[in-house]
Structure 1
């Protein structure tokens, strides 16, 4: 569910100029069905599935290390080797295909979060909240500075800048690769140290805690999952919707635009936790069914599907393919998302009927263990 969900947001970054994500009212159609698509994606998807993906990654780190230790294998050595190759895959993904890569950040974060693999759940939660609070506090401080007259050039863009960005993405692969180099360097260094590393590391630790509590492995009672869904979903959606209302109330002003993300920052975490409960209840009710098997096939090939999403989407929107960048409305984007989902589900099911791992997973495992 996490790997499919993140495409709803990622496709916006791949198909439209960056201002459409920063200030959606300025580009991409913002009335009628297009507005509804944006509103639903922001409330129910924006940041929710990447947080869920991050929590699962953290749980995966814990599961990997614990499994290797139980077998008497050098757990930490294998973890760091595994992380190194994830970093290599992420760098290739970022510089060859798309500057929205998350794998490099995950690899860098996992170098640190693995040190907490033997912590009890309560300690993991405390550490997660502390880490998650750092970017939030930084953002609050920035907003307070903005209220005293700081200008925000990022909130708007000139027609010339807009056309230049569209032209680059519709142009040659080499020109776009040169353009995204600086963006990649920033996102993989300054952005990680400044905010992204704190948020994603915190989400990973939270995932470790949920795994230790048996939440991610469906070991809690149905009543507990129902309470988890009801409480976290209600609170998270309320906070997120309040952010949208706040932005509308201030008529999409620049200062409000910089601060409205504070609402979704915590709202997305709560909603992502509620999604865990939804999936657990779904699996409990329809375990072994066709839908569960189809979706689990996507999950078992998550890395391959993440990379496939980028390959397909960039081929559709960038100049080395159909060059539709900046030409597709938000509603049309969702049609493309649905088509990619269908392709991914079908391919994942067919692939796992013949092979144990996805192609990218097989490469990653082979490099980690030093054998095919």
Structure 2
């Protein structure tokens, strides 16, 4: 038996709301990379003036590294739900999932090298290939292993970096690469399409060296496992019966996560504190946001009010790609050429404005069609016809 796509009545609305919410935070952070050489500067000095400092503090504490983990967990949850559907129908899941992930990998490669170097789809596809072999585990086991595999090495690495900072503080000092900053500004802001393509390749290679790419997979895979574990334990469907658990989880995750996320501001602005902030505090805040949204969604009125956000989440792939297309057109020279020309506040307001338009666009599109255009293409290539 072959798998067939689910219809709108089979969707779990809370997943779509959380996915839509994560798109907003991801866009706010990605917008910084769209308009500035984010890979190559010390953000605390780059955005240290009176205009940008408070905006960067807000993004750094409440947004940065706290929304891509939500997206990763939702990706794992979606894959687990497809696996459970395949089990119920006694359909072949592995070949279907592999084909679907291979197509996503292709989309990611196009996105990374022809649109924007900060693509996450390649990473999700590669991590997904590993995850599909782990979905036979129980939901509880996926949750336990996901937490251990993620937080144990990240905590150990944080400890090593703090120890290194005590032995030799210069080993964890931020630095800015002036040559790379100048190259980014010149190529993206005033270069030809070939110059922009070359810079895009350089940026992707810089962020995805073999060691760097493996470390990203190691960070993303356990988050997907946690999302898959939540889906397999049916927490999304049972949220109304788990209000106390959700309330306590949100309080613990957000309290601990925000304390760690603020650490560079009460500690030191070096790589040891920033690594801990992003790789330990970030996912904790993400889990706090996710549990809080699940709790909010237990109220019928909230579920109705959040319908537009759910529709944005239903078109997550389309909206993610559109964010990159619109962002690069605004800032790269083949568009309006505003790279390096805006403040952090202006970039953030642009991101919020575009996201509002995406919510409206998603509402209008899904009033006429069942899926977003990218989702429809992905589905068409993934599902075999009877």
Tell me the TM-score normalised to structure 1 length. 0.90
Gap regions ≥5 residues in structure 2: 1-20
Q: Does 1:341 align with 2:361?
A: no
Q: 1:153: Cα distance to partner?
A: 10
Q: 1:258: Cα distance to partner?
A: 4.3
Q: 1:102: Cα distance to partner?
A: 0.3
Q: For 2:104 and 2:180, locate their aligned partners in 1 and report how far apart those are by CA, in whole Å.
A: 34
Would you say how many aligned residue pairs link Structure 1 and Structure 2? Answer: 363
Q: 1:83: Cα distance to partner?
A: 0.4
Q: 1:320: Cα distance to partner?
A: 1.0
| Alignment match, 2:328 | 314
Q: For 1:159 and 1:168, locate their aligned partners in 2 and report how far apart those are by CA, in whole Å.
A: 14
| Alignment match, 1:240 | 261
Q: Does 1:18 align with 2:32?
A: no
Residues 308-328 of structure 1: CA deviation (Å, up to 9, x unaligned)? 000011111111111111111
| Alignment match, 1:301 | 315
| Alignment match, 2:136 | 118
Give yes or no for contact 2:330–2:337 (8 Å, CA) kept in 1. yes
Shift of the 287–43 alpha-carbon distance from structure 1 to 2, 3 Å rule, reads same
Corresponding residue SS for 2:133: helix
Q: For 1:185 and 1:164, locate their aligned partners in 2 and report how far apart those are by CA, in whole Å.
A: 15
Q: For 2:329 and 2:213, locate their aligned partners in 1 and report how far apart those are by CA, in whole Å.
A: 31
Q: 1:17: Cα distance to partner?
A: 1.3
Give yes or no for contact 2:296–2:302 (8 Å, CA) kept in 1. no
Tell me the TM-score normalised to structure 2 length. 0.87
Shift of the 238–208 alpha-carbon distance from structure 1 to 2, 3 Å rule, reads same
Pairing partner for 2:296 from 263, 282, 300? 282
Shift of the 326–153 alpha-carbon distance from structure 1 to 2, 3 Å rule, reads farther
Q: 1:284: Cα distance to partner?
A: 1.9
Q: For 2:163 and 2:220, locate their aligned partners in 1 and report how far apart those are by CA, in whole Å.
A: 24
Q: For 2:153 and 2:213, locate their aligned partners in 1 and report how far apart those are by CA, in whole Å.
A: 11
Aligned pairs (5 A) from 1:54-65:
54-65=72-83
Shift of the 13–258 alpha-carbon distance from structure 1 to 2, 3 Å rule, reads farther
Residues 228-279 of structure 1: CA deviation (Å, up to 9, x unaligned)? 21121111111211233112xxxx4xxx234432133221122111111221
| Alignment match, 2:61 | 43
Shift of the 150–277 alpha-carbon distance from structure 1 to 2, 3 Å rule, reads closer
Gap regions ≥5 residues in structure 1: none
Q: 1:169: Cα distance to partner?
A: 1.0
Q: 1:208: Cα distance to partner?
A: 1.4
| Alignment match, 2:28 | 8
